[in-house]
Structure formats: structure tokens, C-alpha cells
Amino acid sequence: MVWRIGARVHALAHGLFKPSEAELVRQQWNDVAGLFRQAGLCDPSDRTRLIGTIADGVTERLGIPADHEQADVIAEFSERLFDYEGLFLLPEVDWSRERTIAELWDIREELTRQRGFVSDFDENRELLELACAAILDPLYVACPALLDEPDDTDGISVPTSLLHSISDLGTVTQAMQGVAFAEDIIERGLLARLNNRLERNLVAASGGNLADPRSFTRSLRMPEQCGRRSRAERRLRRGVMAGVTGPRDQAPEAEPP
């Protein structure tokens, strides 16, 4: 009798020496951590400085003095956008804890996403600065009073809602939201969560089914096509602002019709 044990020996050796899924994910984590270090993002304080640098760049692009009160608004906007999108955040992993394959795949997916951000760090940083400036610019153009210096003269001051200070709100909203759909932004996944939030709100405002937004085939109803006081525009308007300033740990949701 001839024993054909070659294939079995090969399979046994291959199984013994093949890295486990946890080992593969840990190696990927080490690789991505190295890219973070190359980008100068060694700890959370480095990320905070990066956000501050981008906010300063946005302020300069918009021609706003660094000591103007709107500079603080832009800094907060930039921070909340970064946190909302989870930009430049290396996952913290306790490697001593056992995980299911599904959990390891989730870590692998997030590492792949973060690798995309840091592997082309300089260009992504510039794109984010441009995107933030492009989102805010229509707002400042439509409401230049935001950039006025405080008036210390005597007189009656009447607080006015920002939304009521913009005459062509639909056009401004559409210009702001359009940044999330820019080709370079989509390809790099820099504003993926905001893009998803806005897309869902556009589908809802256009009469689509949020349970299956991909099945919607009609033309989307854009903000500038909506009446100023229509419920549709209120959804879209909230989609622009809530997509950036909403709860940071809550999944994007659209307002029900």
C-alpha cells in the first residue's frame, strides 16, 4: 500500500505556520501606526494641533482676522467635523482580549480607512482645509454681518436667527452641502459620513424611502428648488448642519417626513 501523505503534511505545516487573523490584524495595526508616526501624529495632542492648523488655514483663506470671534467658531467647526468623520484616529486595541473574527474584521476595516487618510497625508490635509473653507464661504458671503466688528456705540441690539438673515437660503444650503459630493472628497472618503447623511436627507426630502434609499431613482429635489419655509428644505438644511454638529457618537439619521 502506498501512503500519499505529502498533501497532508503540507496542509499540516501550512496550518501550523500560517499567522492567525488576530496576528494579521495586529501587523496591520503596527503598519498603520507607523504611518501615523511619519505624519507626526504620535498622540492625541498632535491631532489637536493638526485640527488647529487646518482651522487657522480656513480662517486665512476666508480673509478673517485671527482675533475675530468667528475664528473660534471655525476652530470648533473644524474639531467637530474631524470628530464626526473620525479623521486621523488610530483605533485603540487591547490585544490581550480575545475577539471574534467579525470584531477583527471591523478593526481591519477601520485600519484600512485610517491608512487612506495618513498614506497621502499632505494632500488630504490640504483637501480638508479647502473643504472646510468651501463649506463656510457661502455662509459668510450670504451673511457678511457675521464678519462685522462689534459695535460699542449706544443703541438697541436685536438678536436675529442666522437662518432668518439669509435671503436665498436654498442656494446657500446647496452650495454648502455640495462640498461633500465633490469627486476628490468622495474618492478619499474624507467626508463619507456627512455624504451619507446628506444623501439620505435628500432622498427623504424628495419623497424616497429611507428604509431602502438606494432604490430611489427619481431626480433628487435640491435645496434651491424648495420653498424657503417648506418642510423639505428644513430637512435639507438640518442635514447640512446636523451632519456636522450633531451627536458625535450617534449614527446619521434623517428627519422623518
Q: Which DSSP symbol is given to 225? A: G
Model pLDDT, residue 199: 84
Domain ranges of the chain: 22-121, 166-257
Residue among 155, 240, 175 at smallest CA distance from 205: 240
- On the 0-12 / 13-18 / 19+ scale of CB atoms within 10 A, 19 is exposed
Model pLDDT, residue 110: 97
Per-residue CA distances from 153 to 61, 145, 156, 159 (Å): 30, 16, 10, 16
Residues of the chain scoring pLDDT < 70 = 1-17, 150-165, 209, 211-257
* Exposure class string for 61-75: b at 16+ Cβ within 10 A, else e: ebebeeebebbeebb
CA-to-CA distance for 255 and 116, rounded, in angstroms? Answer: 31
By the 8 A CB rule, do 255 and 238 touch?
A: yes
- Give the DSSP H/E element, type plus range, for residue 111: helix 101-119
Model pLDDT, residue 53: 98
Residue among 242, 156, 167 at smallest CA distance from 198: 242
- On the 0-12 / 13-18 / 19+ scale of CB atoms within 10 A, 8 is exposed
pTM of the model: 0.75
Grid coordinates representing 61 are 483663506
Model pLDDT, residue 149: 74
Grid coordinates representing 103 are 470584531
Model pLDDT, residue 245: 40
Model pLDDT, residue 248: 39
